[in-house]
Amino acid sequence: MQYYNQNTKIFLNGEFVHAKSAGIDLFGQSLHYGYGAFEGLRAYNTHNGTRIFKAEEHFERLKKSCESIGLPYRWNNRYLIEQCYELLELNNLRAAYIRPLVFSGSNMHLTSSEDANIMLAAWEWGPYLGQNLLRVNISSYERPNPKSFHIDAKISGQYINSILASTEAIRKGFDEALLLDQDGYVAQASSENLFIEKDYKIYTPPLENVFPGITRQTVIDICKELGIDIIEKKLTVQDVYTADNAFLCGTAAEIIGIKQVDDIVYKEEWEYSIGATIQIKYKNLVLEQENYEVII
Ligand code: PMP
């Protein structure tokens, strides 16, 4: 996958520069220790023009992520959102994935930094996990313990856990991994939240041990709007195995159904599931084909 070419521009600390000419600091604390924070947003080509879905929520979370690890965040979010739109225009992108990254400069100490840089990049990206129903495994890796990390923050170094889990899943012939929390409950996938469907009700793990996905919250809002029972509850592996259906959600993956967990294949057809209805509703929402205010 090529993320940029000769012409690609990125936003770096207040200026638009060519991605190819932007250097990297080999003594950077973020590079050595994963001390950085990032976000992932999507811009959609809607009938109202290019629109970034829930941009304020994403930048608010970026600010919180930085604050949680003491990385200075001196930018105004409204300004950054405007720069995202400018970035899309400069790169002729109508629909894109947008990646803001906050990173620190040279510092080999294991104490928080006083300086921070920001970059915004964008590229065309289809649904992260594709469009086919997924086969997922219960990972041998657990999610980070909330007492070791700020698991509600999007901190670069924490994604080693996701890389390990999804690489293991793919090596074993699956598409994605489901990770347990430190108490043995199913938490989420490597970079998506999990919902299961059982007897016409939808369940998802509570926020305590899972990442507060913006798509997760959108799904909950959609369920409430459609009058679907949505219950936040700790889920055992058995709950997931015996569900009627399940799906993952995230900005990059959007909403994608699961057909198999380990060697258990769900018997109910995805097309007739509540998840499939939510998937359509979500697509309409991001494309502004419905009245957004009604849902929120
Ligand atoms: N879990 C993790 C660990 C994530 O990194 C993400 C974002 N890719 C999600 C869940 C989904 O979050 P969102 O819906 O806000 O994209």
The pocket around ligand 1, CB under 6 angstroms, is made up of 40, 154, 188, 191-193, 211, 213-216, 250-252
Task: Provide the CATH topology of domain 134-286.
Answer: D-amino Acid Aminotransferase; Chain A, domain 2 (3.20.10)
Enter the CATH code of domain 9-123: 3.30.470.10
Our mutation pick for probing the ligand 1 site, out of 210, 215, 222, 247, counting the most ligand atoms within 8 A of Cβ, is 215
Residue-wise pLDDT for 138-158, tens only, equals 999 999 999 999 999 999 999
Closest CA to 203 of 236, 178, 174, 251: 236
Are 246 and 195 a contacting pair, CB within 8 Å? yes
Residue whose Cα lies nearest atom 4 of ligand 1: it is 191
- What's the 192 CA to ligand 1 centre distance in angstroms? 5
pLDDT at residue number 23: 85
The per-residue pLDDT for range 76-133, each reduced to its tens digit, is 999 999 999 999 999 999 999 999 999 999 999 999 988 999 999 999 999 999 999 9
C-alpha R_g of the chain: 19
CA-closest candidate to residue 254, choices 100, 95, 126, 120: 126
Please report where in the chains the tokens 């600010």 appear, as a residue.
Answer: 63
Predicted confidence at residue 291, as pLDDT, reads 59
Whether the model clears a pTM of 0.75, i.e. scores above it, the answer is yes
DSSP-derived secondary structure for 174-192: -SEEEEE-TTS-EEEESSS
Q: Considering 9, 54, 154, 259, which one is annotated as catalytic?
A: 154
What percent of the chain lies above the pLDDT cut of 70? Answer: 98
Q: What is the pLDDT of residue 295?
A: 46
- Residue 39 is encoded by which pair of tokens? 């976000």
64 among known catalytic residues: no
Q: What is the pLDDT of residue 290?
A: 72
pLDDT in tens, 180-226: 999 999 999 999 999 999 999 999 999 999 999 999 999 999 999 99
Query: 249 C-alpha vs ligand 1 centroid, how far in Å?
Result: 8
> How many whole angstroms separate alpha carbon 39 and alpha carbon 242?
34
- Rounded CA-CA distance 191/189 in Å is 5
Tens of pLDDT, residues 255-296: 999 999 999 999 999 999 999 999 999 999 999 997 544 444
User: Where are the domains positioned within the chain?
Assistant: 9-123, 134-286
**DSSP strand pairing (186-189 vs 201-204):** unpaired
CA 250 / ligand 1 centre spacing (Å): 5
